[in-house]
Structure 1
């Protein structure tokens, strides 16, 4: 198979840097160019020092639409649609967007959560990559929604994310002096990822409309997401495990553990780890992902593999930083 000619637009941020780390070592990918308006002319290692010695690529602010099999868009939310209006790619170029702009599956985009939409992704040329919290929450709860385990009660969800989830640009709440030795809540019950979560739950269980009471936390660490979700449940723990194992039977990156899990097992991998408990009449689900990998760039490469008929795990054999 010929190499997939690709480009990364908006490649200077965290998700762009992680994408380049993966794509440079992907056996079926050839990067044609890396784009950034702010870093034009700089060498790759000047912007992403961790990639020193891996490539002699230089950032450009010019956009070439021809000769590409795939393009990744790592632009700020709200900027993808205007970018695509201004730059016409071939209808055969696979576009993978990491912003929120098309997660409602508008403009011909398919929602890129492989564990739910694998077959649609395999046929798609426009893929909207899910959000990081959305990925962790959906993978934690999708089997329960699909099997009707969560019935008429609200879903209670908490999630804590690392500072890289807020992007590379410095702000008051990402500054070291704010984040260090600190935890804070933001966007209580109103997080923007709830829209795409509701969309998926409605797809898995038509008419499902239970409240999603989500409390997002800012964590005092760099990367990773931890989700805790629970709801009233009358079945057995074994029945719940059976539903989860069946749902993820063909999912190479989502693993159901009967042992307690921790976030470090998932960080630096494209895995989602899930553990179930039953206490006080509730089914409790823990899930953990790396917000920059399974929650962003790793999942984007997973979608690339599916769209081009490659083994889903190609280029994503990453070890966690568990010690």
Structure 2
């Protein structure tokens, strides 16, 4: 079965990762690529390693009113750039929005695929979680659903590779500024805060008031690690057991006894979670690792598209992480 797919925003890091995964997908056929600055180029000019079958596909100027016949459209556009345009895409075209405009928007399903796959199956419009929420919510979900932690006053300390800033991230994220450097950013107002707070409340049935989230850029290309500090009297063993039960039938989440590392997930759609708890201090620490371009963006987007299309959830996503 050939499913015709397109990617808009293909020249960005998220769009390029989607291209890599779709090129090896057993059912998806890339027939449309779109961008703005890259329009008119062949894929091989933007991606010299593009597969031969796709090398001469011409990147078109993004115009939602002039789409070819598509079954699925992946949109990887900057926040604020997709809401109006995607509203003009025909209803019969399924959309996975990797960008930030439709998370918890009316008419869109929030695509936290490892936690709520049943909500995604049969949907037509799916909003991919942000990279930080993907790691954070996969870590917290078993604890919140099981009542092992309180949903309020959670502190999230997060580190991501420079590709998390996007290809158009600006001059402050260049090599000279980023190498041998650690940069906090988006304090108190990061765009991922609302979706994390809303998801925490949905998972727990309680209030996420007091949520604190501080992201940092670290001098590596890709990878994301979150450390969450929560209140709860559960032991380390109870947290690990709850997570293993919660993710027992989920193909991409690995629960580990030892703290995960970013290289474990590099180039993959895997999500690693682990815990350390001190009941005497009413403290639970949750650790989560994803590849910010994999599970944090294009990997989860393909996983969501598989669910939309009734395919095996793992289709095109079985590759092992890069190591070393």
TM-score (norm 2): 0.94
**Residue of structure 2 equivalent to 1:94:** 94
Distance 1:62 1:77 in 2: 16
Q: CA RMSD in A?
A: 1.6
Matches within 5 A, 1:134-149: 134-149=133-148
Query: Relative to structure 2, which stretch is displaced further, 58-67 or 290-299?
Result: 58-67
* 2:236 maps to 1:246: no
Q: Which residue does the alignment assign to 2:14?
A: 15
1:59 maps to 2:59: yes
SS of corresponding position for 1:133: helix
Gaps of 5+ in 2: none
- Normalised to the residue count of structure 1, the TM-score between the two structures is 0.94
Which residue does the alignment assign to 2:86?
A: 84
Aligned length: 319
Q: Report if aligned partners of 1:133, 1:159 keep a CA contact under 8 Å in 2.
A: yes
Is there any run of 5+ residues in structure 1 with no aligned partner, and where? none
Verify the 8 A CA contact 1:189 1:212 in the aligned structure 2. Answer: no
Structure 1 contact 184–217 (Cα < 8 Å) conserved: yes
Question: What's the counterpart of residue 127 of structure 1?
Answer: 126
Deviation at 1:69, TM superposition (A): 0.7
Partners of 1:152 and 1:166 in 2: how far apart? 28
Aligned residues of 1:44 and 1:52 also touching (Cα < 8 A):
no
The 5-angstrom pairing of residues 1-323 of structure 1 reads 2-51=1-50, 53=52, 55-56=54-55, 57-61=57-61, 63=63, 64-85=66-87, 87-89=88-90, 91-106=91-106, 108-151=107-150, 154-279=153-278, 281=281, 282-323=283-324
Inter-CA distance 92–30: structure 2 relative to 1 (3 Å threshold): same
Indicate conservation of the 8 Å contact 2:253/2:270, yes or no: yes
Does the 8 A contact of 1:160 with 1:219 survive in 2?
A: yes
State the secondary structure of the residue aligned to 1:221.
coil
State the alpha-carbon separation in 1 of the partners of residues 125 and 104 from structure 2. Answer: 12
